Every structure is written in structure tokens, then in C-alpha cells.
Amino acid sequence: MFSNCSRQLTSQFSNHLKRLQSTLIIAEHDNKGLNPITQNALTAAKKIGGEISVLVAGTKCGPAAEALAKANGLSKILIAESDAFNGFTAESLTPLIISTQKQFNYTHIIAGASAFGKALLPRVAAKLDVSPVSDVIGIKSPDTFVRSIYAGNAIQTMKANDPIKIISVRGTSFEADKLEGGSAKTETVPTDGCATDMTVFVGQQLSKSDRPELTSAKVVVSGGRGLKSGDNFKLLYDLADKLNAAVGASRAAVDAGFVPNDLQVGQTGKIVAPDLYIAVGISGAIQHLAGMKDSKTIVAINKDPEAPIFQVADYGLVADLFKAVPELTSKLS
């Protein structure tokens, strides 16, 4: 009898806790559409539990909000439109997030661990006087998070005791929410006090490519110093064309000027986790592995049988890349 009663109390208490828990996701978008990392952040928020709202701040950001409203499990989409959010600067968005937080008292604020989230969340956390928890790769409970440290060489499980948890999540660690089955209501939030002359957005030049985006591509072909020159990267572009793949690079290849630095994969580059990662002429330094070792299948082509990349590779080919890559490309239809 006693144990039945205590079980009932425990379940009532946890339901009550769930109700008290509420998460605000900061949507990353370009007004016209969502950046996929927002869908990963949504999955992470669902793992935390409780009510979930999403803040979509921008200029004419209706289409991005509409895409989100299709997701199931959302309580509300908060829309904030102002010219102040042109360029999505951390300086203009922080006052908005703080005032939204004051209004709704969220227990968790989440964004993707992208350049956007990395610029924004530390500022928000400082204003709220709490510690941000960055680059989360797993959620154990509403206050206990898993993150990788030392360039991915150790996994840390940590408990955050701050009353408001500010979390950036690694996109590749959470499935993208399918954005279907829901019809969340929208609400406009005030944007007073967001305009700032501290930082003025002047413009941006985005690199254009017909290839899939590196961080969301299903297949990535990456080249390293072994390619020897930028011209030789053509071998990888030809292979990537056959596989509908994105092209990446090691830092050594970027530093040598073979390819632009937005192709860099690794600790100080992009984190990728495609279905297939083909590393060509890359030795497998820990800083490179930090950016790709969660890939589902890793193929390495290297002429040195002792190269560390073979320790993480599912399939390894000890060969001269200048022979092996054209041969591989020619065999693919």
C-alpha cells in the first residue's frame, strides 16, 4: 500500500516537474528557410522534455516560422521582426532573448553549436549570470549533459546546477526533426531595445556552390596534404560529382592554400558526420578526427600503412591516391 502510494506521488511529482520545465530554442535561419541545425536542436529539446517554444527573430522571417510550425510537440512559435536583426548579430539578439526569458521564465535555452550559436549563447549566459554548456552531444536528463572535450579525445558527463541551462548542441549528434504532424500557434514578441549601434551589420559574402553543403552532406570526400596541390583537388571533385558528395579538406591542405578554409574539417573547422566519409591523403591527426570520426562509414586512401587514419577507418586502401582515386572514379557510373 505504502509503495503504491509513494509510486503515485513520485509520478505526480515528475509530471509536475515536466510542466515546470520549459525550453526556448533559438531558431537559426535566413528568413526564407531554416538552417537544418534548428531541426537537430528541436530533437535535443524533446529529449529534455517539458514545453518547447521556438524564437524566430529576423526581418520578414514568416517563411522560416511557417516551416517550424509544422513540427509536432511545440507549444509556441515566438516571432520577432525588426531591422535590428539584419545580419542576426549576437548584440541585437541578446536583449531580445533576455526580455523573452523575463516574460516566460524558461528553464532551458538551446541553440545549435554553429557559428551563430557559438557567438550568441555565451553572451546570453553572461547576461543571465549562468554558465553555458557548449557543444552537447547527449542528454541524460534535464540537468545532465554529455559533451566532448579535449578535441573529442574524452567524453564528459556533467551536471549543470544553474537555474537556467544555456545549451549549444552539436547538430551531428541529434537526428533532424522531420517538421511534421504539428500546428503550433504563433505569437509576436516585442523587439524594443534590440537596435544597437554597438555592432552594425554591413554585409556578407557567402560562398556559392552547386555541391551539397559540407555539414549536411550524406557523402563527404576530403583531401589532405597528400594531394600536393590545389589543382590536384580536381581528382576529388570528379569523384565527388559521381557520388553527389561535398568536398572537405584537412587543415594542412587549407593552410597550404590548396582549397579555401570553409572546406576545413576538424577541431578548428567543421564537424561532419555523413553516412560516408572518404579521407584521401590525410594522415588522421586527432584534430582532424575530432571533426569526422562520428561518420557512419569511413574510407581512407593513404600510401602509408601506418597512417593513424586507418585506426578509425572501416575500409582502408593502402595505395597511391593519384592511381587509386581516378580508378575509383572511373568505376562509378
Ligand X SMILES: Cc1cc2nc3c(=O)[nH]c(=O)nc-3n(C[C@H](O)[C@H](O)[C@H](O)COP(=O)(O)OP(=O)(O)OC[C@H]3O[C@@H](n4cnc5c(N)ncnc54)[C@H](O)[C@@H]3O)c2cc1C
Question: Long-range contact list for 82-88, CB < 8 A, 24+ apart?
Answer: 82/57, 82/191, 82/194, 82/195, 83/59, 83/195, 84/191, 84/194, 84/195, 84/196, 85/57, 85/58, 85/59, 85/191, 85/194, 86/59, 86/201, 87/201, 87/204, 88/28, 88/57, 88/58, 88/116
Q: Which residue has the cell 575500409?
A: 315
Is the Cβ of residue 118 or residue 225 nearer to ligand X in the bound state? Answer: 225
Which residues ranging from 197 to 236 are in contact with ligand X (CB under 6 A)?
224-226
Please give the Cα distance from 136 to 120 (Å, whole number): 16
Q: Phi first, then psi: give them for residue 210, nearest 5 degrees.
A: -85, -10
The answer to the question of residue 302 lying near ligand X (CB under 6 A) is yes
Shortest distance, position 54 Cβ to ligand X, whole Å: 31
Q: Which of 282, 298, 299, 313 binds ligand X (CB under 6 A)?
A: 282
Stretch of 22-30, 197-205, 237-245, 299-307 contacting ligand X, by CB under 6 A: 299-307
Residue 39 assigned ligand-binding role: no
CB of 174 to ligand X, least distance (A): 22
151 annotated to a ligand binding site: no
- Is 49 a known ligand-binding residue? no
Residue 264 lies near ligand X (rule: CB under 6 A):
yes
CA gap 282, 216 in Å, rounded: 21
Of 29, 147, 251, 293, the one binding ligand X (CB under 6 A) is: 251
CA dist., res. 219 & res. 275, Å (int): 6
Is 27 part of any known ligand binding site? Answer: no
Q: How far is the CB of 292 from ligand X (least distance, A)?
A: 9
Q: Locate all alpha helices (DSSP H) within the chain, ordered by sequence.
A: 2-20, 37-48, 62-69, 90-104, 115-128, 234-243, 251-255, 286-292, 309-312, 321-331
Residue 57 annotated in ligand binding:
no
**76 or 270, CB closer to ligand X?**
270
How many residues interact with ligand X (rule CB under 6 A)? 27
Annotated binding site: 225, 250-251, 264-268, 281-288, 302
Annotated binding site for FAD: 225, 250-251, 264-268, 281-288, 302
Binding site for ligand X (CB under 6 A): 224-226, 250-253, 264, 266-269, 281-283, 285, 287-288, 291, 301-304, 307, 320-322
